[in-house]
Chains A and B, each alone.
Chain A
Amino acid sequence: MSKINTLDALDKAAKKGRDLLFPSTKIRISIGMTTNSIAAGARSVYDAFLEEKKNKNMKFDMVKTGGMGFDSVEPIVDVVIPNKPRLAFAKVTVEKVPVLLEQVARLNLDRELPFYRVDEQEDIFTGETIQYVKGRLPRVFSKISLREEIPFYKNQLKVVTRNCGVIDPENMEEYIARGGYYGLHKALTEMKPDEIVQEIIDSGLRGRGGGGFPTGIKWRSCREAEGDIKYVICNGDEGDPGAYMDRSLMEGDPHSIIEGMIIGAYAIGASQGYIYVRNEYPLAVENLNRAVMQARKAGLLGKNIFGQKFSFDIKIAKGAGAFVCGESTALIASLEGRAGEPRAKYTHTVEHGLWDMPTNLNNVETWNNVPIIIARGSKWFSQIGTKTSSGTKVFSLVGKTNNIGLAEVPMGMTIRDIVYGIGGGIYNDREFKAVQTGGPSGGCIPKSLLDLPVGFDELADAGSMMGSGGMIVMDDTTCMVDIAKYFLDFLAKESCGKCTPCREGIRRMRSILEDICSGGGQEGDIELLKEMSDAIIDGSLCALGGSAPSPVLSTLRYFQEEYETHIKGKKCPAGVCKKLIKFRILDEQCNGCGKCRKVCPTRAATGSRREPHKIDQNLCIQCRACYEVCTFNAIIIE
């Protein structure tokens, strides 16, 4: 990689990248290779492509990209055929690889119909349209759905995830070809630091890590703070159960984070940056490390970037995986080599942060938004989303929806549009019950609020929070007391243990919930839980404890009767809490097939062939195996 210190050099790199992204002669086959794609089998599919290429002496380029977002149909293979529509194949297996390759080579697409095609696409960075199809669309493609017709993609707006699944994260030129580092060039050569800060303020960008604090205001405070050395930090300690958008960004588009940080550092006056990533994200660590090395070699990190009097470098710090280290002061303690425990924030980290110096900390997704705001301007950015929450948000849509994956939508989209539109509705046509947003500190939003637009303030008013953007969709087989118990258990283990209300209080709340779920709930428990919540919220040292009761409070707010049924009726309406349910076989429905008898691990289900079976309640351990295996709906939960 030669030095990139002029616009000319940037253009040259972009040209190289474009030749790779839009090959004029060779086919380019890329496969999403994030942690979740690999879990779905992408690596063996990738190997199968290479094997087939070697055996049949075929000529095509094979590339690993980041994730395409639609994780329930991974592995996804993306094919760029010169002058033809871009194609994607879903749920590709090793066995399908030879057929798929043959089809693509001959343009005979009947046997393994591609999942979708892309004829043209807006380059979000420049606003220009990229035409994949040159000339008329060959008929063979017409029966393939366009990507914008697929419900999962239809209403998405990929701003932050623009490069994920498109570029090879190991190749910096491909990043540049998509407009990368042009924002940095503009910032460094055309803008004054104060103008950049103002641009970020005007964009209305709010922190994507959970708090939703206006990013530009934070930058301004840090810029104005006194200190010889200033730091910028990228918080990549994503820890909410079910949320993985930051991982996907770090794995699939690391340069965008780096570019955002360089721009931020220039605006604030920082000379050193840190990216704090949890060590459980090895691929993210690897890709970030490589990207930092590449940027350094190109002179985009180091001394006199773009020939300016500005020097900046980035170090990658690996965290040991404590959830609390996502809290800024705990993260800073961990970076300094101390135990990850938060401190009171009466002195702000923008004034006294890392090594007591002014420090600006933003989340991965926040940094990722910066280059495009600079490139396209705050006006363009603030038109996306709502008045108080501008831009897009990446949500990880998981749980009981038909489609699962990362969805980036403009702020203000309703939960209904996300769950039923993008998510394709509830799995097995069951009833929607609630969606848990904001991670362990967030809350559950019920059916009555399906039309709530997602935004920082709207979610907070509903008793939940945006958090990092986790969305766990739950159906009618989910017990809300059990869910609250799950999150409190997570928090009891992940509390740093420094202050009394958090360390002691969460586990006491958890033990009351355990009692409720196992039939030991007492009159007055709900009131006690509410009282304890007040004390823990008011009394805790940091935001982890301060929001820890949220799962309980939000489920109590919308599902109190479910708690009462557990406590007074000693029943679990969702049929989840083992000690409160009984499995019974309906004589009139049972035809004596014996499946339940065979699957029962404790021999509680008995009966003769073709005769209605019975379940011995003394032997039954409520494992649900019989219930799941019965195809005649003969087993009910009481």
Chain B
Amino acid sequence: MVKLVIDGKTVQAEEGKILLTVARENGIEIPTLCSHETLENTGACRLCVVEITKGKRKKIVTSCLYAAEDGIVVDTKSDRVLKVRRFVMQFLMARCPTSDVIRDMAANMGIAPETRFKPSEDGKTCIFCRLCVKACEDVVGVSALGFAFRGVDKALGTPYREPSPACIGCGSCAYICPTRQITMSSTENTRSICGKTFKMKACSVCGRYFAPEEQLAFISKKTGVDLEALSVCSSCR
């Protein structure tokens, strides 16, 4: 166990536990956009930065990646921290002016858009948090989504912007997307996502269409469970 101070409060934490978790467990809220309990943190959004004092040195660190250390003093709302958060939100508001999620979050933080930043007009709401990419790769295990290009041109999507043969239509990306950039549409027996339309499987008991056939085939292959056994929806299982 290590002892540290967060926002004036002395707390104890297991060594190696990240600051973000330690703060939250102690009722101190730190905003994030790219952290998710099921995924490894990447430190992409930069909202969770905090200022730490270690000995005589003060520095800004990423609380979702920085492990708690004995004796450090953490300030989650210092001027430097708030300045970073303000600009991160203002950058994102300019990038995705149509995103109500970002707008509301900024409003809650008391941050207004910076008028000097011309809002993007492409209508996209992707904030490059990479939760979808991580979920697709680390949780689902198919890596159908990724990034292309770099810098200002960085773009999220499937390789060559074509429907991905690897995509199984599971919808994890749409589920995890915080700004609803990735969406999924359905008819009774189809599901469309990431430029690909999937045939849905009807439950062999109740007849309800419940999952893409490709997803069930993928799960069967991965787990060795017979495809027949997977043809029953969760309500009838």
Binding site for B on A (CB under 8 A): 322, 324, 339, 343-344, 346, 491-501, 503-508, 511-512, 522, 524-525, 528, 531-532, 534-536, 538-541
> Would you call B54 an interface residue if the criterion is a C-beta within 8 Å of the partner chain's C-beta atoms?
no
Asked if B44 is an interface residue, CB under 8 A from chain A, the answer is yes
Which residue, of A511, A522, A539, has the highest number of chain B Cβ atoms within 10 A? A539
Contact of A346 (CB < 8 Å), options: B42, B67, B80: B67
**Is B46 in contact with chain A by the CB < 8 A criterion?**
yes
Partner of B94, one of A492, A508, A539: A508
Q: Are A346 and B46 within 8 A (Cβ)?
A: no
Complex Cα–Cα for A501 and B49 (A): 12
13 more contacts with CB within 8 A, not counting A500-B47, A538-B84, A539-B84, are A343-B43, A344-B43, A344-B66, A346-B62, A498-B42, A500-B46, A501-B46, A503-B128, A504-B91, A508-B94, A522-B116, A525-B116, A541-B43
Q: How far is A511 from B95 in the complex, measured between Cα atoms in Å? A: 13
Query: Hey, which bits of chain B sit against chain A, CB under 8 A?
Result: 42-47, 49, 60-62, 65-67, 80, 83-84, 86-88, 91-92, 94-95, 114, 116-118, 127-128, 130, 146-147, 149-154
Cα A322 to Cα B153 in complex, Å, equals 13
- The residue in chain A whose Cβ has the minimal distance to the Cβ of B148 is A339
Contact B60 A497 (CB under 8 A): no
Knowing A494-B150, A500-B128, A504-B94, say if A538 contacts B116 (CB, 8 Å). no
Nearest Cβ on chain B to A605's Cβ, whole angstroms: 36
Residue from B46, B47, B66 in contact with A541 in the complex, judged by beta carbons closer than 8 Å:
B46
Q: What is the CB-to-nearest-CB distance from A240 to chain B, in angstroms, rounded to a whole number?
A: 16
- 19 of the cross-chain contacts (CB-CB < 8 Å) are A343-B42, A344-B62, A346-B66, A492-B152, A494-B151, A499-B43, A500-B128, A501-B84, A501-B91, A505-B87, A508-B94, A508-B117, A522-B116, A538-B49, A538-B84, A539-B84, A539-B87, A539-B88, A540-B46
Contact between chains at B94 and A495 (CB < 8 Å): no
Q: What CA separation (Å) do A507 and B94 show in the bound complex? A: 11
Q: Quick check: B147 and A497 within 8 Å, CB to CB?
A: yes
Cα distance A495–B149 in the bound complex, in angstroms? 10
* Nearest chain B CB to A532 CB, angstrom units: 6
Contact residue among A346, A500, A512 (Cβ-Cβ distance under 8 Å from B91): A500
Chain A residue nearest to B49 (CB atoms) is A539
Whether the Cβ atoms of B127 and A497 lie closer than 8 Å is no
Residues of A contacting B80 with CB < 8 Å?
Answer: 534, 538
The residues of A that contact B43 with a CB separation of less than 8 Å are: 343-344, 499, 541
Partner of A503, one of B84, B118, B146, B151: B151
Contacts of A539 in B (CB 8 A): 46, 49, 60, 84, 87-88
- How close is A491's CB to chain B, nearest CB, in angstroms? 8
Across-interface contacts of A506 in B (CB, < 8 A): 152
Given the known interface contacts A339-B147, A493-B153, A535-B84, the answer about A499 and B61 at a Cβ–Cβ threshold of 8 Å is: no
The secondary-structure label for the interface of chain A is helix
Residue of B nearest to A525 (CB): B116
How long is the Cα–Cα vector from A496 to B149 in the complex, in angstroms? Answer: 8
Contact across chains for B152 and A495 when beta carbons are under 8 A apart? yes
Residues of B within 8 A of A512 (CB): 116
A487 to B146, CA, bound (A): 28
Per CB-CB distance, the 8 closest pairs between chain A and chain B, nearest first, are A497-B154, A504-B91, A535-B87, A539-B84, A495-B151, A538-B60, A493-B151, A539-B46
Q: Are B154 and A344 in contact (CB under 8 A)?
A: no
A322 partner, pick from B42, B65, B94, B150, beta carbons under 8 A: B150
Q: A346-B66, A541-B43, A541-B46 are in contact. Are A500 and B88 (CB under 8 A)?
A: yes
Q: How far is the CB of A279 from chain B (nearest CB, A)?
A: 16
A197 to chain B, nearest CB (A): 26
Question: A535–B62 Cα gap in the complex (Å)?
Answer: 13
- Set of chain A residues within 8 Å of B116, measured between Cβ atoms: 512, 522, 524-525, 528
B57 → chain A closest CB, angstroms: 14
The one of B42, B46, B128, B146 that contacts A497, using a Cβ cutoff of 8 Å: B128
Most buried by B among A494, A496, A498, A528: A498
Do A500 and B44 touch (CB < 8 A)? yes
8 Å CB contact of B92 from A344, A492, A500, A540: A500
Are A344 and B65 closer than 8 Å at their CB atoms? yes
In the assembled complex, the Cα of A535 lies from the Cα of B91 at a distance in Å of 11
Contacts of A522 in B (CB 8 A): 116
Complex CA–CA separation, A324 to B149 (angstroms): 13
Q: Are A504 and B44 in touch, CB under 8 angstroms? A: no
Using known A-B contacts A344-B62, A497-B147, A500-B128, determine if residue A534 contacts B83 with beta carbons closer than 8 Å.
Answer: yes
Q: Whole-angstrom distance between the alpha carbons of A346 and B62 in the complex?
A: 9
Cβ contact within 8 Å between B87 and A503: no
Closest residue of chain B to A540 (Cβ to Cβ) is: B46
Q: Which of B80, B86, B88, B127 has the most CB of A within 10 A?
A: B88
List of B residues within 8 angstroms of A493 by Cβ: 150-153
Most interface-central of B47, B116, B130 (chain A CB within 10 A): B116
Do the beta carbons of B83 and A531 come within 8 Å of each other?
Answer: yes
The answer to whether A499 and B46 touch across the interface, beta carbons within 8 angstroms, is yes
Complex contact B66–A499 (CB within 8 A): no
CA–CA, A328 and B90, complex, Å? 30
Chain A residues lying within 8 Å of B42, measured Cβ to Cβ, are: 343, 498
Tell whether, in the assembled complex, residue A492 and residue B151 are in contact, meaning their CB atoms are under 8 Å apart: yes
B150 and A504 contact, CB distance less than 8 A: no
Nearest Cβ distance between residue A400 and chain B, in whole angstroms?
29
User: How close is A420's CB to chain B, nearest CB, in angstroms?
Assistant: 37
Chain B residues, CB < 8 A from A324: 150
Provide the residues of chain A in CB contact with B147, threshold 8 Å. Answer: 339, 497
Q: Name B86's closest neighbour in chain A (CB-CB).
A: A535
A517 CB → nearest B CB, Å:
15
| A507 to B118 alpha-carbon distance, docked (Å) | 11
